[in-house]
Amino acid sequence: MTVQLEHKSVAVSPLAIAADDPVGTVRCLVSITGIEDNVGDIIMPGAFTRTIALRRPKGIHSHDTKKWVSRAEQYEEWLPGDPRLPKHTKDGKPWPAEAGAVFVRALYNLNTKAGRDAYEEAKFYGESSEGEWSIGYSVPPGGARKDTKSGVRRIYDLDWFEYSQVLFGAASHTMTLSVKSGIVSKADLAGEWDELLDGYDDGADAAGEPQSVDELRAMVSLTIPADVAQAVAVDGGLEAGELHVTLAYLGKGLDEAALADAAVVVEQVAAASEPLSGIIGGIGAFPEGEDGVPAWVPVDVPGLAELRQRVVAALDEAGIWYAADHGFTPHMTLTYLEPGTPLPSPVAATPVTFGAVTLAVEDDHEDFPLAGTADASTPPADEVPEPGLKQEGGRWETKAGRVLSDRNLKRMRQAVEILQEIMKEAGGWEELDEHDPARHQPPEMPPEPTIMPDSTAPSAMPNELKHLTAEELGAGRAVLEFLAAR
């Protein structure tokens, strides 16, 4: 944390994302000093010195104090003239000589939906130079003075609590400087899969026939390590690089958005799961299919069934379809045979370790490392709950139903609305009396806190204040300052 500003040359501009910044890093100017903002305030240069030395500001979204979306990794005030300030404002004009800024390097919590959504907004609007920021703060007694002639309030000292992405900041020169992207970004993933699928437009299948995007098969699988695959591959069968253990078959013709969603799901499951080790060996066969009789090797790896269950549960939660027309038998297909052809010789017991989960579209794939570690709080494999179970009091108890994905919830709401219309037309629907005491009423919400930090953003004001004119706001401030001075 920088308390006192230092002027020195740097090899890498702080405005740009550094190579070692983790994915989810956003660099931004969250407040502007030295110039009047849109609500008649000037935060004077140096006003943040005391508060930066006292506390770390919290990163939230649109001043919603119930959701913390990012952590301030670096935060400091740049005084006017600091060489690290931008050369130009967002509209291309020269940066005002009298203006300073508050810089934040924020790391978004991409393990939460709120963090991911806020990060995507910062990235999307930052790239278009539309991103604006605001801060939540309070002014201590004696920390501000108002010019009686101009009505401008000059803030010399403040208590800074939070920074937020907002639709419109009171200080219009706030901006997103740079965003570190990575595989966790759904927008990036959609673009990557779009490029991948474009490569198949003029492609051909194994028989040389044209192959369209709609025919491409997608799956979630475990890729066999290269040395093991080379050792067990059979002549005339699948190439060593094609050997895998299917966890979930996603069908043909997935669009880019669905593949991007699937990639996010697979990465999150893999990140929370540890590598798996066990044995492959033996030989088996499934009934004849469209490609012939599958000859396969059994896969005996502790924890594999549980990993597969986590994958399909996450796909369910995201509303992504996968084949569920048969049970899960851990296996690795070696070859497809004509009916009546003898099976290959059994594979000798071979140790195997899986270190990643793969999302594959035909021969192209993305690997997501199994990065989790086991700890004392992890339940034994035979105690891992099925979807819909919750642990309470040291044992697993059944919860009614499954957590609904947003997509399925929307479908259910639409179905209920259609059913209501049908019942009304048939005369079999009675509207509930709004004042019927027997009607279930939701519990009353607790009152909002009466004291909240001020903010430079009009969107953070109480609703009553949003409707006041500038003159009324100025009169109210004068009264409050008079009372505070007594």
Q: What share of the chain is helix, strand, coil (3-state, %, to 5)?
A: 25, 30, 45
CA distance 386 to 58: 37
Residues in the chain: 486
**What tens-digit pLDDT sequence spans the chain (486 residues)?**
433 332 222 222 344 455 567 888 999 999 999 999 888 899 999 999 999 999 899 999 888 888 889 999 999 999 999 999 998 888 888 999 999 999 999 999 988 888 898 998 888 887 556 778 889 888 898 899 988 888 899 999 999 999 998 877 777 788 887 765 543 334 444 444 444 444 444 344 444 444 444 567 889 999 889 999 899 999 888 888 889 999 999 888 777 777 778 888 888 899 889 999 999 999 989 888 888 899 999 999 999 999 999 999 988 888 888 888 778 889 999 999 999 889 999 999 999 999 999 998 877 778 889 977 544 334 444 444 443 333 434 333 333 333 344 445 555 666 677 777 777 776 655 554 444 444 444 444 444 444 444 454 544 555 555 555 666 666 666 655 655 555
pLDDT for residue 92? 84
- Dig out the tokens for 253 from the structure: 């013709």
Strands 276-282 and 284-285: unpaired
Please say whether the beta carbons of 253 and 223 come within 8 A. Answer: no
Residues paired with residue 125 on neighbouring β-strands, in sequence order = none
pLDDT for residue 485? 58
Continuous segment of H or E residues that includes residue 103: strand 100-108
Which is nearest to 365 in space by CA: 252, 208, 241, 236? 241
pLDDT for residue 324? 82
CA distance 33 to 48: 10
Please say whether the beta carbons of 251 and 323 come within 8 A. Answer: yes
pLDDT for residue 436? 47
Which residues, in sequence order, are CB contacts of 83 under 8 Å at separation 6+? 7, 9
CA distance 227 to 222: 15
CA distance 205 to 457: 57
Angle at CA of residue 86, ends 85 and 88, nearest 5°: 140
Residue 134: φ, ψ to 5°? -150, 165
Continuous segment of H or E residues that includes residue 268: helix 256-271
Please say whether the beta carbons of 121 and 133 come within 8 A. Answer: no
CA distance 291 to 296: 14
Which is nearest to 307 in space by CA: 255, 245, 367? 245
Please say whether the beta carbons of 51 and 26 come within 8 A. Answer: no
Which residues, in sequence order, are CB contacts of 373 under 8 Å at separation 6+? 274
Q: What is the largest CA-CA distance in the chain?
A: 100
Please say whether the beta carbons of 301 and 331 come within 8 A. Answer: no
Where do the domains of the chain lie, and which CATH numbers do they carry? 25-181+452-485 (no CATH), 186-384 (3.90.1140.10)
- Dig out the tokens for 151 from the structure: 């009505």
Residue with tokens 């002639």: 149
pLDDT for residue 394? 37
- Dig out the tokens for 148 from the structure: 């009686």
- Name the packing angle between helices 304-318 and 256-271 (round to 10°): 140
Report DSSP letters for 410-448, one per residue. Answer: HHHHHHHHHHHHHHHHTT---PPPTT-TTS--PPPPPPP
The 3-class secondary structure across 71-102, one letter per residue, is EEEEEEEECCCCCCCCCECCCCCECCCCCEEE
Please say whether the beta carbons of 187 and 124 come within 8 A. Answer: yes
- Dig out the tokens for 335 from the structure: 């070859």
pLDDT for residue 461? 52
pLDDT for residue 202? 39
Beta-carbon neighbour count of residue 137 at 10 Å? 23
pLDDT for residue 441? 44
Please say whether the beta carbons of 281 and 347 come within 8 A. Answer: yes
Continuous segment of H or E residues that includes residue 187: helix 186-198
For residue 68, the 8-state DSSP code is: E
CA distance 331 to 333: 6
pLDDT for residue 479? 58
The 3-class secondary structure across 105-165, one letter per residue, is EEEECCCCHHHHHHHHHHHHHHHCCCCEEEEEEECCCCCEEECCCCCCEEECCCEEEEEEE
C-alpha dist (Å) from residue 168 to 96, 127, 234: 20, 16, 64
